[in-house]
Amino acid sequence: MVSTIQINHDVKDALNRMKTTGKETYEQIILQMINFIEEQKRNREELIIEGCKEMAEDMIRINKEWEAVDAELDWEWNEEF
């Protein structure tokens, strides 16, 4: 089913500037934008996941360092304060 949409002249001009061969339809341009945005979302999610993994590794490393320091200290928890 084909439907008609209304766009402002400035949007139409922007879509025309995005054409690489000059022969693409507005639908093709819009689909290219949608695909680009979806790819960027996937890339962002992958970067977030990678960043979280690196932070987790750093936290584990720091925790091990503090465990070594804690083992050297002879202290007791005092709940009077």
When divided into structural domains, the chain yields a total of 1
Q: Does a structural domain hold residue 51?
A: yes
20-74 per-position pLDDT tens digit: 888 999 999 999 999 999 999 999 999 999 999 999 999 999 999 888 877 777 6
Q: Does a structural domain hold residue 81?
A: no
48-59 per-position pLDDT tens digit: 999 999 999 999
Task: Output the pTM of the full model.
Answer: 0.65
Q: Does a structural domain hold residue 79?
A: no
For residue 2, what pLDDT band results from cuts at 50, 70 and 90?
A: confident
Q: Does a structural domain hold residue 50?
A: yes
DSSP per-residue letters across 36-81: HHHHHHHHHHHHHHHHHHHHHHHHHHHHHHHHHHHHH------TT-
Q: Does a structural domain hold residue 2?
A: no
Q: Does a structural domain hold residue 78?
A: no
List of residues 6+ apart from 26 with CB closer than 8 A: 12, 15
Q: Which domain holds residue 31?
A: 9-17+25-70
Q: Does a structural domain hold residue 76?
A: no
